[in-house]
Amino acid sequence: MISQHTLPKRQVQFGYVSQTIRHYATLVLLAVMGSVLLAACGDREPEQRAAFIKFLQTRVLDSGRLPALSEEDKQAVGPYADHYAIITKFNDTANAIAGTDLRAITTKITVRSLDDLIARRDELKSLDGDFAKFEAGLNSAVSTADAAKAQLKQPDDLKVVYDKAYDKLISAPVQILREILPLLKEVHAAELDLVDYMAQHKRELKMNGAMVMTEDPKLQAEFNAKVQAIQTKAKAVMEVHRKLQALRSGS
C-alpha cells in the first residue's frame, strides 16, 4: 500500500522540479532574446560604415571641404562620428594656431618700406619666440591627431578612404606648413641683416624717399644684394602659400 504521506511528498517534489524548469527556461529565453537584440544592434555597423565612407568621399574628398556632422549625419554614421572628430578637432586647433601665432609672424615680417623696416627693428628681433610658439603648437596638434588615429580600428574599405581624408586635411597641410616655416625664418633673417647693415652704414647710405643712395659703389652693390635676397625669399614664401591654398580648394 501507498502511505498517505508519500503522495504529498512526491507532489511537493514535482512542483519544485517544475518550478525550477520554468525558471531556467525563462533564463534561457532571456539569454536568447538578448543575443538576438545584440545581433540586431551589431548588424547596423555595415550600414553605418557605408554611410561614413560616402560622407568622406562625397562631402569631404570630392568637395575639399570639412563640413560639420549634422544630427542626421551622426545618426547615420553612428560611432564613426568619433573617427571624424579627430580630423575636425585638429582643424579647429590648427586654425586657432594660424590665426594667432602664424598671423603674428607674418604681420611682423611684412614691411612696406625701408622706413617701416627700420622703425620695427626691435619688433623683428622678438620673432624667435613667435616661431617657437607656432612650431610647438603645430607639433602638439599633429602628435595628438596621429596618436588618436593610431588607436582606430577600421575595416579595410573604410581605412582606405579615411586615410585619404586624413592625408588631405592633416598630413598634406602640415607638410606645407613645415615647408613655409623655414622660408619665413629666412625672410626674417634677411630683413634683420639688411636693417643691421643700414645701421652700420647710416652715414654712407642716404634715404631719398623709397630709394637708398650712396656714393660708394661697393656699398650700393651690397645693399642691393640684400634687398634682392629679401625679395627672392619672400617670393618663395608666396609660392608655398599658393600650394596651401590650392590644396584647400582642391585645385
pLDDT, tens digit, 9 for 90 and up, residues 15-46: 433 454 444 444 444 444 443 333 334 479 99
| CA 177/CA 98 separation, integer angstroms | 10
In the predicted structure, residue 164 carries a pLDDT above the cut 80? yes
Per-residue pLDDT band for 89 (boundaries 50, 70, 90) equals: very high
Question: pLDDT for 102-111, tens place per residue?
Answer: 888 988 888 8
pLDDT score of 83 more than 60: yes
Q: Indicate whether 48 pLDDT > 80.
A: yes
In percent, the amount of the chain with pLDDT more than 70 equals: 81
What pTM did the predictor assign? 0.74
Q: Which tens digits make up the pLDDT trace of 129-141?
A: 899 999 999 999 9
Q: What is the mean pLDDT of the chain?
A: 82
What CA–CA distances, in Å, run from 121 to 56, 84, 118, 225? 47, 45, 5, 19
Provide mean pLDDT across the span 170-179: 92
Share of the chain above pLDDT 90, in %: 50
SS (H, E, C) the chain: CCCCCHHHHHHHHHHHHHHHHHHHHHHHHHHHHHHHHHHHHHCHHHHHHHHHHHHHHHHHHCCCCCCCCCHHHHHHHHHHHHHHHHHHHHHHHHHHHHHHHHHHHHHHHCCCCHHHHHHCHHHHHCHHHHHHHHHHHHHHHHHHHHHHHHCCCCCHHHHHHHHHHHHHHHHHHHHHHHHHHHHHHHHHHHHHHHHHHHHHCCCCCEEECCEEECCCHHHHHHHHHHHHHHHHHHHHHHHHHHHHHHHHHCC
pLDDT value of residue 58: 96
pLDDT of res. 64: 82
pLDDT digits (tens, 9 = 90+) for 228-242: 999 999 899 888 888
The pLDDT of residue 203: 85
